[in-house]
Chains A and B, each alone.
Chain A
Amino acid sequence: MLRHVLAASLSLAISGGAFAAETGVGNPAGMAPSAPQSAPGVPARPVLNQADRLFIRELTIGGAAEVQNGQLAAQRGGADLVKEFGRDMVADHSKANDQLAKIARADNVAPPNQLDTEHRAARVMLEGASGSGFDLAYLRGQVTDHQKTAQLLEWEIGSGENAQLKALAANLLPVVFRHLERARGLAEQLAVQAAAPPSRQPVPPSRSR
């Protein structure tokens, strides 16, 4: 149920929410001196500035890690809510990853095909954990990752040149904030449970919308 709500909200965001994609034209300050233009100040596709290229790299790695770790959470999560969260991350980020890959392909950029050191290390740590230890480690990682992703998307909206990438960033940002809020809520909830003496207390209902 929750999954469907989230999937619906994601597709709403991507199909154009209230302000979707109103990122304006590219920021010419970041253009290369000889960048081809379709009109003065308007870059001709497929122009990518340095920010766009770095954005593709970072978002590809982050998105791939989200899917991999989400799959892991769906299998190994101790609490059902964590498994569900993991499955939602797989669904939402797979969609975003596909969109990013499509833009990158159209612009002849080869995105990285493996995780970076930080995400690899996090992955190794998660693989060695289980039960409530896994849940907390996964969710705390999710909080950090979504915080960084939000800043990364905002950075692309202001510094990027490529209109499609900027629109993608703008469309994903509200979803990332919803993920962040949900991960924070779950982490808090599980931390309280972990600290409580063992009892038959049921898992409180999810706070997520």
Chain B
Amino acid sequence: MRVSRWITGLTAAGLAAALIPVPAIADSLPPSASYRSLPTIPFETVKANDEAEKADVMRRQEAVLNERYDLSDRPIPGVMMSGGRKPVQGGVRVKLPPGVTWDSLAQMSPDEIRARGLLPKGFLPLPHVKQATGGQVFPQQEIDEIRRQEGRNLQRFDVDFDLPDRFIPEFPPPIFLATHPELGDVSQGKLLTIKNYYALMVGILTPVQIEGLRLLLTPFPQEEFNQTEDRKSADQSMGVACLDCHANFHTNAAFHQTPDVRPQAARFRLDTVSLRGMFNQQIHGSKRSLRSVEDFTQFEQRTAYFNGDHVSAQRKGVNLPDRFDQVPMMAQMQNVIDFPPAPKLDPTGRLDPTKANAEELAGEKVFLGKGRCAECHIPQTSFLDNNMHDLKLERFYQIGYTQNGLVMLPDGPIKTFTLRGIKDSPPYMHDGRLLTLADTVEFFNLALGLKLTQDEKNSLVAYMLAL
């Protein structure tokens, strides 16, 4: 070993003398910067430690949230989510730094905002509740309902869900089928599970769709929910199903971390995306741009659900759905999930002026013009452009600072998300860093340098509520 290193050193010196670039011959970065280490502590000890830490962990994240956001209960009067179960929260919730207003901030250049450290913290990447550990975290309602119906445990002993319930989608969300628009919501107000799906859907879905649904509701081992000592559920877990996060094919705001980045401290948070309108979505995954929902559906089970780690998944029990039989059925089931009805939109996604009010119409005008929203969120294609874009938010802040274990880094290109049914899908952005639609307007006003007036901002919110 030592001799060979000397020889390598001598060879390198010889090459260097000839001014040939030196190949990387010594130590690379540590393997655990990419790979998950095997646990070294007995499960019982890990659990005791995690439980003892939990209160501090939650307090820390609560401090992060309170520093960033106004979390008070301020629903928009008369506006409910599509199922009619939950009011939509309004107002700008991201807190401003002292001494500035939204308007004064919008007048500054990105350089000035960066130099003076004035970017509101709520615009920065949102940390996972426990960044170093990471993994899937479910909202309490999902945990309770899965326990009630299936007796399956989605409760982690190290962390709880962090966002207040008022800022996440209604539960259970309604289900709209592209194959049965005439029926409306077919969920019967229930959460689809492996225990009830057949009774709820036979006679409405095809045999192929029903089989796809069964597979999407079948739990498989996952990084934090499995049978090994490397888990965060008290019991040896049966695992997680696709629809545990994509509740009723929408989202329950369960979160995780991106599979596509290492080391762990750089993995940004991922808010569960809705599967509504999947039939029009051409690229999948915030970062990976997978070209079909078949690819996505198959692959996520290959890597223990969103961990980008086939090695660790292999140890915990990997599920490999058959590509020619099972995967297409799962995909075809997802592809019949429709958006909620938007009675004010015409067939091309534009407002019907006989149905929309003046403020909504004004909002559409801003959306298509000064606001530049429609350059990516194209109404005719379900408010998608099937591209990834880089907002370059790092123009506004100094990268590299750490908040609650997450390093603030450029997001890079991220997939365009649909805006159809958007009032049903808080929190917003790929990591859920924005709590209300008014927040998204302020965010893009700054990121794109739009200099919108307050009336224009208000009209954009009114417009998005109509989508």
- A residues touching B (Cβ–Cβ < 8 Å)? 17-33, 37, 39-42, 51, 54, 58, 116-122, 124-125, 128-129, 133, 137, 140, 148, 150-152, 154-155, 157-159, 170, 173-178, 209
Contacts and interface: CB of A to CB of B under 8 A. Distances in A.
14 contacts: A18-B121, A19-B401, A21-B402, A24-B60, A25-B53, A29-B133, A31-B41, A39-B52, A40-B51, A40-B52, A58-B27, A128-B19, A152-B33, A158-B264
Contact of A29 (B12, B46, B408): B46
Nearest to B24: A118
B25 A177 contact: no
Given A51-B30, A118-B12, A178-B400, 18 more contacts: A17-B401, A19-B401, A22-B405, A25-B56, A28-B41, A40-B49, A40-B53, A58-B27, A116-B27, A121-B13, A150-B400, A155-B29, A157-B405, A157-B407, A159-B30, A159-B263, A170-B407, A173-B400
Given A21-B402, A54-B30, A128-B17, A155 B49 contact: no
Interface centre among A21, A22, A158, by most chain B C-beta atoms within 10 angstroms, is A158
A66 B221 CA distance: 46
Nearest to A17: B401
Closest 5 CB pairs between A and B? A118-B26, A40-B52, A125-B16, A41-B49, A121-B12
B348 interface: no
B206 interface: no
B17 A24 contact: no
Contact of B50 (A26, A41, A51): A41
B39 interface: yes
Interface string B51-76: 11100110010000000000000000
Nearest to B264: A158
B266 interface: yes
A22 B403 contact: yes
A33 B29 contact: no
Contacts of A174: 398-401
Given A32-B40, A118-B27, A159 B32 contact: yes
Nearest to A41: B49
A20 B365 CA distance: 43
A151 B267 CA distance: 12
Contact of A28 (B27, B29, B50): B50
B8 A117 contact: yes
A20 B403 CA distance: 7
A125 B21 CA distance: 8
B199 interface: no
B37 A155 contact: no
Contact of B403 (A19, A40, A155): A19
Interface of B: 5, 8-9, 12-13, 15-17, 19, 21-22, 24-27, 29-30, 32-33, 37, 39-42, 45-46, 48-53, 56-57, 60, 115, 117, 121, 130-133, 263-266, 398-405, 407-408
Contacts of A158: 131-132, 263-266, 405
Given A17-B401, A23-B402, A174-B401, A133 B27 contact: no
A159 B30 CA distance: 11
A44 B415 CA distance: 44
Nearest to A121: B12
B263 A125 contact: no
A26 B46 CA distance: 13
Given A121-B22, A124-B17, A177 B399 contact: yes
Contacts of A150: 400
Nearest to A160: B132
Contacts of A39: 52
Contacts of A29: 37, 39-41, 46, 132-133
Contact of B45 (A33, A151, A155, A178): A33
A154 B266 contact: yes
A157 B264 CA distance: 8
A148 B405 CA distance: 19
Given A28-B41, A33-B45, A41-B53, A159 B33 contact: yes
B19 A129 contact: yes
A133 B17 CA distance: 13
B19 A125 contact: yes
A9 to B, nearest CB: 9
Contacts of A117: 5, 8-9, 12, 25-26
B68 to A, nearest CB: 12
A22 B49 contact: no
A137 B132 CA distance: 36
A74 B203 CA distance: 79
B11 to A, nearest CB: 9
Contacts of B398: 17, 174, 177-178
A203 B207 CA distance: 72
